[in-house]
Amino acid sequence: MEEKWWQRSTVYQIYPRSFQDSNGDGIGDLPGITSRLEYIRELGADAVWLSPIYKSPNDDNGYDISDYQDIMTEFGTMADFDAMLEKAHSLGLKIVMDLVVNHSSDEHRWFVESRSSRDNPYRDYYIWREGKEDGGLPNNWGSCFGGSVWEYDEKTGMYYMHLFSKKQPDLNWDNPTVRDEVFRMMDWWLQKGIDGFRMDVISLISKPEGLPDGEPEANGYATFHLAANGPHEHEYLREMNRRVLSKYDLLTVGECAGVTLEEARSYANLDGSELSMVFQFEHMDADFDPVLGRYAEQHKDLPRLKEVLSRWQRDLEGIAWNSLYWDNHDQPRVVSRYGSEKEEYRETSAKMLATCLHMMQGTPYVFQGEELGMTNYPWTSIDQINDIESLGNYRAYLAKGLMTEEEGIRMMRRRSRDNARTPMQWDATKNAGFTTGTPWLPVNPNYVTVNAAEQLARADSVFHYYQRLIALRKEMDVIVWGHYELLEPEHPDLFVYTRTLGEESLLVICNFSEEEQTYKIPAEYRDSEVLIANYDTPAPAGKLRPWETLVLYRR
């Protein structure tokens, strides 16, 4: 099969609000991004995924769009966008836009029309239902952000569905006019010259027939994931592909909440009939409490994590394409999650985690600041939190007596999406060089030592380590195409795997712990070249040091 450009690429994700402010209002913006594109080029990434920059009332920081063909006021103008795109292309960087079309903002003119009367031509653009006979809600699904997915609208006496906030009404994809509108809008952006789409919760667009009730969870509601992989999902994506995507050479990645491996083989099939790849969530759930889920003490369970990642490596090989990620704007920082925040180990563990992911098959995604080993924020009060998901669930859990305030804050430190959204740490000057004003979210106090300027100036920094990993993928076919095999599946602290392509092979060894581990390198790799490692002296025979990683290459 002919190689696609995105199969050897690394994507850098920007959360525009937190990347670089250019005018001192404390909010990142498009001119700010433009001014930092060289930095991304320096890292070696091939493409940038921009979280939403469209017109939005910012109930969910741009994931609630009120005009798909305009720019968010705080971020700048369409002229700023065009300048950014041109600069990116001149540097050889592709631009992948976030596409949020499972829902719009309630301030989008479609919804304003839709809610105005039962027989408005836009009524059927959204999902309206009557309450149950007994006066109950249309069904028992719970929103991702806490509470029901149904909001009663006085004006017409019916409920509309919102899988996310009530300011994010779900679009009705079963209506062909909605699909026409969305496809036309996508084409408009593609005509501008953008290089792909990251499709927000695209797995949720086809709702199941009859919207049946589900099994309630601890919070009293059935999961909104009941809407995942619905009956017309693949039909709609194939239609989108046929009518829009197939006309261009794009990177498309579907964020697929609730996706199974079986489904992914269809979404991300190498035949190109739907999308290039998907973001799956199984490995993100691997540290969740088996009963209480994500808002409970985290359980590091390395055998489980290895099982999930290895299954995706194995079962998509030759059939579909993986995306590889630890961090994004919805996840706590991976160093705080699976590595160490301790100063003596932070960088070592960040490099280990990077190696573990970047030596796998798929397209790696680096979220802003991950390449510096940025960590979670030490939140001390709920008043510091901005994220609608954190606030919604915090309130819902407290109201139900499922946790105390103190536990709630502890949970924020571990899990809040705002951990990823604190401003990018550029240098050691005030506000980490992010803004001259007051940042919209606090800057992590560790910016004085953890920042890009310091790391760019130091050869053994996390930044330069990522740079080497990204360059290796460019040079080595075995990283792109090698067959994956997991070794030591049951080991509680070591993640070891091989990649093999013809005569070439890699042995990837990762110590996911602060303890020294005993490990005997298999005989056939004893004299192999060290491709990359996070310690600059060889490990003592038969041992691995805290958070140590090394990749051995043999041919």
Cα Dmax for the chain: 76
326-355 footprint of ligand ISL as x/- string (CB under 6 A): ---xx-------------------------
**Rounded Cα distance, 108 and 127, in Å:** 15
Minimum CB separation from ligand ISL for residue 281, in Å? 6
| Amino acid type, 497 | Y
**Element (DSSP H or E) covering residue 517:** strand 517-518
Determine the size of the site formed for ligand ISL (CB under 6 A).
12
Residue 170 binds ligand ISL (CB under 6 A): no
Helix and strand counts by DSSP (H, E) for the chain = 16, 22
Binder to ligand ISL among 15, 54, 63, 440 (CB under 6 A)? 63
When the beta carbons of 332 and 439 are compared against Ca ion, the nearer one is 439
Taking CA atoms, 435 is separated from 21, 32, 50, 62, in Å, by 5, 10, 19, 20
Kindly state the DSSP code that residue 432 receives in the 8-state scheme.
Answer: G
**Element (DSSP H or E) covering residue 457:** none
Residue 60 binds ligand ISL (CB under 6 A): yes
249-268 footprint of ligand ISL as x/- string (CB under 6 A): ------x-x-----------
Task: Kindly name the residue from 200, 263, 282, 371 that is annotated as catalytic.
Answer: 200
**Rounded Cα distance, 44 and 93, in Å:** 9
Kindly state the DSSP code that residue 536 receives in the 8-state scheme.
Answer: S
Strand partners, 510: 495, 549
Q: Which residue has the tokens 């017109």?
A: 55
* Partner that binds at residue 551, options Ca ion, ligand ISL, none, CB closer than 5 to 8 Å by kind: none
Residue 25 binds Ca ion (CB under 5 A): yes
**Rounded Cα distance, 517 and 542, in Å:** 8
Binder to Ca ion among 23, 156, 273, 500 (CB under 5 A)? 23
* Partner that binds at residue 282, options ligand ISL, Ca ion, none, CB closer than 5 to 8 Å by kind: none
* Partner that binds at residue 330, options ligand ISL, Ca ion, none, CB closer than 5 to 8 Å by kind: ligand ISL
Residue 14 binds ligand ISL (CB under 6 A): no
When the beta carbons of 63 and 434 are compared against ligand ISL, the nearer one is 63
83-122 footprint of ligand ISL as x/- string (CB under 6 A): -----------------x----------------------
Binder to ligand ISL among 389, 549, 550, 551 (CB under 6 A)? 389
Question: Could you report how far apart the first and last alpha carbons of the chain are, in Å?
Answer: 24
* Partner that binds at residue 144, options ligand ISL, Ca ion, none, CB closer than 5 to 8 Å by kind: ligand ISL
Q: Is 255 a catalytic residue?
A: yes
By the 8 A CB rule, do 15 and 51 touch?
yes
Q: Is 119 a catalytic residue?
A: no
Minimum CB separation from ligand ISL for residue 60, in Å? 5
* Partner that binds at residue 29, options ligand ISL, Ca ion, none, CB closer than 5 to 8 Å by kind: Ca ion
Determine the size of the site formed for Ca ion (CB under 5 A).
5
When the beta carbons of 144 and 250 are compared against ligand ISL, the nearer one is 144
Nearest to 356 by CA among 441, 465, 202: 465
Residue number with the shortest CB distance to ligand ISL?
63
* Partner that binds at residue 164, options ligand ISL, Ca ion, none, CB closer than 5 to 8 Å by kind: ligand ISL
* Partner that binds at residue 23, options ligand ISL, Ca ion, none, CB closer than 5 to 8 Å by kind: Ca ion
Minimum CB separation from ligand ISL for residue 185, in Å? 17
Kindly state the DSSP code that residue 225 receives in the 8-state scheme.
Answer: G
**Rounded Cα distance, 328 and 199, in Å:** 14
Beta-carbon contacts of 391 under 8 Å, excluding residues fewer than 6 positions away, are: 382, 385
**Element (DSSP H or E) covering residue 551:** strand 549-554
Residues 310-329 that bind ligand ISL (CB under 6 A): 329
Beta-carbon contacts of 398 under 8 Å, excluding residues fewer than 6 positions away, are: 404, 405, 408
Residue 21 binds Ca ion (CB under 5 A): yes
Which tokens in the block code for residue 462?
């996390």
By the 8 A CB rule, do 363 and 277 touch?
yes
Residue 59 binds ligand ISL (CB under 6 A): no
When the beta carbons of 17 and 333 are compared against Ca ion, the nearer one is 17
Residues 181-240 that bind ligand ISL (CB under 6 A): 200-201
Nearest to 508 by CA among 530, 537, 480: 530
When the beta carbons of 31 and 169 are compared against ligand ISL, the nearer one is 169
Radius of gyration in angstroms for the set of CA atoms belonging to the chain, rounded to a whole number: 23
Residue 164 binds ligand ISL (CB under 6 A): yes
Q: At 530, give phi and psi (nearest 5°).
A: -85, 115
Task: Kindly name the residue from 46, 195, 255, 274 that is annotated as catalytic.
Answer: 255
* Partner that binds at residue 21, options ligand ISL, Ca ion, none, CB closer than 5 to 8 Å by kind: Ca ion
* Partner that binds at residue 257, options ligand ISL, Ca ion, none, CB closer than 5 to 8 Å by kind: ligand ISL
**Rounded Cα distance, 234 and 203, in Å:** 9
CA angle 548, 352, 368 (to 5 degrees): 155
Binder to Ca ion among 29, 60, 387, 389 (CB under 5 A)? 29
Minimum CB separation from ligand ISL for residue 253, in Å? 12
Residue 255 binds Ca ion (CB under 5 A): no
* Partner that binds at residue 470, options Ca ion, ligand ISL, none, CB closer than 5 to 8 Å by kind: none
Number of CB atoms found within 10 A of residue 68's CB: 21
Q: In 3-state terms, the chain is what percent helix, strand and coil (to 5)?
A: 35, 20, 45
User: Which residue ranges make up the site for Ca ion (CB under 5 A)?
Assistant: 21, 23, 25, 27, 29
User: Which residue ranges make up the site for ligand ISL (CB under 6 A)?
Assistant: 60, 63, 100, 144, 164, 200-201, 255, 257, 329-330, 389
Provide the annotated active-site residues. 200, 255
